[in-house]
Amino acid sequence: MTKNLTPLTGHDLIADYLGGLDGSPGVYRMLDSESRVLYVGKARHLKNRVSSYARPLGHSARISRMIDDTRSMMFLTTKTETEALLLEQNLIKQLKPKYNVLLRDDKSFPNILVSHEHGFPQIKKHRGTKKEKGNYYGPFASAGAVNRTLNQLQRVFQLRDCADSQFEMRTRPCLQYQIKRCCAPCVGYVTVEEYSHLVKDAERFLSGKSTKIQAELAQDMQAASEKMEFERAAALRDRIKAMTQVQSSQGINPQGVSEADVIALHMEGGQACVQVFFIRGNQNWGNRDYYPRVVGDVSVPEVMQAFVGQFYSDRDPPRLVLLSDAIQDPDLMIDALSNKLGRKVEINVPLRGEKLELVQGANRNASESLGRKMSETATQARLLQELSVAFDLEGPPRRIEVYDNSHIQGTNAVGAMIVAGAEGLIKSQYRKFNIKGDDITPGDDFGMMKEVLGRRFKRLLKEDPDRNSGAWPDLLLIDGGVGQVSAVRQIMKEWGVEDINMIGVAKGIDRDAGNEEFYRTGKPVKALRRNDPVLYFIQRLRDEAHRFAIGAHRAKRAKSTMKNPLDDVAGIGPKRKKALLAHFGSAKAVARAHLVDLKVVDGVSDAVAEIIYNYFQK
């Protein structure tokens, strides 16, 4: 239900909505004069909840400001309060209202996948939708935590991590076998039964049964020694030793908590840090810190409830969630998470024992992380202020975009954009641009920059023409001198955005770091003293853009290097490609094959054979 804007404002406007509301549960939205969402809330009884805002007294400063800014409201009823809670958290993440607590980091977590689509299962890192057949173990806090665990598993169980296509093509063991990270099933050094036993042990280890595995390995080692199979006994001894090192490197390994997320909140100076530890199979699978956006005088239970709701809105919760502080509606949140997981979820604020120690450890990490963050933020604010003074800007820039290109003689060209703001580098806002222009001469940096900035400004003008979302930059940093600055200024003029500040950063004399020259339209060339913090700041931004651009270029180049000519042939999927390569040995042989030879390949019909033949003979 939506009501048109009226001359009423604040408490009077909210009171005017009460006549159309009933006691249903649901979600309400408060909007400002430009229909931007200020706040999203849920209610067990909509009329009672909204009527609390109609009272002129008894509100905190934050709620009073929100009420004063409200110019309209929207309502959506639900069947249950649990549905209202889930809808509220989804709307908060989608709309990012000004007065709500907002979880800003929304990246997915990686898992370990033991794939069972092959006779010799592969173990690998997986992120995203769980479509592939196999067993998934996680989540892990970061890619680094997954990589460390994978390396440790390979040392202990020697499972393969190569792709199926590489596995099928090998004729001799790879380097992983030489360094004792793989048992070489690709060349038959182990049987299917022996490999299956290794896979089973690895999965038991990931499930938290490492002690039992070690005991069994010790028994096997003793038996092998008694049979004078000393080589096998030594191999088993090395596996036990590696497993012990794995356990000692994981740090916190609770004995009484097999599966839990430990969530601790620390608030100070109007900022908040939430630390999340992942406990799976009695093992610590890493931790990650979050800095939710908090506004004004928001309470600890409100922040904790908002974080938990948004954190699990798009990921499955564990059976146990340990919190440092209570949330506003624990029963409601338990019901919502249990419905999502399909089994009972427990939310607990521990007061004693090992669980309390886990929460206290997470809380200590949250406090230390927030302290470092606040220190870095203060330093960043000072640098932005000094940057504005050095280059005569109207004020400290809130958003800096830095652009760079990377290519090799024009091939696999990629443009890159990094973003920095008051809190440092904003990596979630980084963007790469695959250069698409057919009219660009290979190696034409001006043409590449024109395409990148043209696409960037076109999108900004389409998505936010009024510049209200905070996605528009206050300052552009371009890698280049007077030529690049002139070309970029022309591009900005064509798109009508020449009011944005722009600086070109050139290497300067002898292309030596520290001798950078800065070019601005209509102003003389500027240089900064070698020990100026602003110079170091700009150098870091330029180097980060260069690193990101080179990384994107290398990834694109590697992908094109590995590309198979058969991938471009219409009607050739993975199965037919595998059949063709198995029959002819290589894509080059397929390209040279006669039509009659193509027709005899399993799975290749006469029509498909003609398509392949015509493609390579055109």
444 residue type, one letter = D
pLDDT at 481: 84
Choice among 158-162, 405-409, 541-545 with the minimum mean pLDDT = 405-409
Which of 333, 205, 366 is closest to 280 using CA atoms?
A: 205
Kindly report the CA angle at 603 between 599 and 607, in degrees rounded to 5?
50
Check if the beta carbon of residue 274 is closer than 8 Å to that of residue 264. yes
497 residue type, one letter = V
| Residue 5: band (very low, low, confident or very high) from pLDDT cuts 50, 70, 90 | very low
pLDDT at 245: 62
Which helix (H) or strand (E) is 523 found in, with range? strand 523-526
Can you say how many angstroms the Cα of residue 101 is from the centroid of all Cα atoms in its chain?
A: 20
Check if the beta carbon of residue 398 is closer than 8 Å to that of residue 474. yes
Residue ranges and CATH numbers for the domains of the chain are 10-95 (3.40.1440.10), 111-249 (no CATH), 263-280+287-371 (no CATH), 399-560 (3.30.420.340), 565-617 (1.10.150.20)
Q: Which residues are 102's β-sheet partners?
A: 293
3-state secondary structure of 36: coil
pLDDT at 584: 81
| Residue 412: band (very low, low, confident or very high) from pLDDT cuts 50, 70, 90 | confident
Residues 6 or more apart whose CB falls under 8 angstroms from that of 551 comprise: none
Q: Which two tokens stand for residue 227?
A: 């049979």
Q: Is the per-residue pLDDT at 409 higher than 50?
A: yes
Q: Is the per-residue pLDDT at 246 higher than 60?
A: no
Check if the beta carbon of residue 452 is closer than 8 Å to that of residue 488. no
The pLDDT mean for the chain works out to 85
pLDDT at 116: 85
Mean pLDDT of 49-70: 90
C-alpha distances (whole Å) from 434 to each of 413, 414, 547 are 7, 5, 16
CA dihedral for 146, 148, 151, 154, sign (positive or negative)? negative
Look up the pTM and report it: 0.74
Check if the beta carbon of residue 433 is closer than 8 Å to that of residue 414. yes
Could you count the other beta carbons within 10 Å of the beta carbon of residue 262?
A: 29
Q: Which two tokens stand for residue 503?
A: 């600086």
Residues 124-166: pLDDT tens digits? 999 888 888 889 988 888 888 888 888 888 888 889 988 887 8
Mean pLDDT of 528-551: 89
Token pair 């580098």 is found at 425
3-state secondary structure of 513: coil
Check if the beta carbon of residue 332 is closer than 8 Å to that of residue 86. no
Distance CA 346, CA 338 (A): 8
Distance CA 532, CA 535 (A): 5
Residues 69-102: pLDDT tens digits? 999 999 999 999 999 999 999 999 889 999 999 9
Residues 564-604: pLDDT tens digits? 677 777 778 777 877 887 788 777 888 888 888 888 888 88
Which helix (H) or strand (E) is 417 found in, with range? strand 411-421
pLDDT at 440: 62
Residues 464-516: pLDDT tens digits? 888 887 889 999 999 888 888 888 898 899 999 989 999 999 876 655 566 78
Length of the chain: 618
| Residue 438: band (very low, low, confident or very high) from pLDDT cuts 50, 70, 90 | low
* Cis amide linkage into residue 565, ω under 30° from 0: no
Residues 6 or more apart whose CB falls under 8 angstroms from that of 232 comprise: 224
C-alpha distances (whole Å) from 369 to each of 108, 141, 270, 307, 364 are 21, 16, 15, 17, 9
298 residue type, one letter = V
Q: Is the per-residue pLDDT at 204 higher than 90?
A: no
Q: Are strands 111-115 and 72-77 parallel, antiparallel or unpaired?
A: unpaired
Token pair 């919190």 is found at 323
| Residue 243: band (very low, low, confident or very high) from pLDDT cuts 50, 70, 90 | low
pLDDT at 244: 67
pLDDT at 472: 93
Pick the residue with more confidence: 312 or 554? 312
| Residue 529: band (very low, low, confident or very high) from pLDDT cuts 50, 70, 90 | confident
* Cis amide linkage into residue 139, ω under 30° from 0: yes
Kindly report the CA angle at 277 between 274 and 279, in degrees rounded to 5?
155
Which of 265, 297, 294 is closest to 102 using CA atoms?
A: 294
Residues 34-48: pLDDT tens digits? 889 999 999 999 999
Residues 6 or more apart whose CB falls under 8 angstroms from that of 166 comprise: 186
Q: Above pLDDT 90, what percent of the chain?
A: 35
Residues 253-287: pLDDT tens digits? 677 888 899 999 999 888 899 999 999 888 888 88
pLDDT at 258: 86
Longest dimension (CA), the chain: 94
Residues 421-431: pLDDT tens digits? 988 888 889 99
Which of 367, 374, 362 is closest to 324 using CA atoms?
A: 362
3-state helix, strand, coil in the chain (%, to 5): 45, 20, 35
Q: Are strands 411-421 and 431-434 parallel, antiparallel or unpaired?
A: antiparallel
Q: Is the per-residue pLDDT at 61 higher than 60?
A: yes
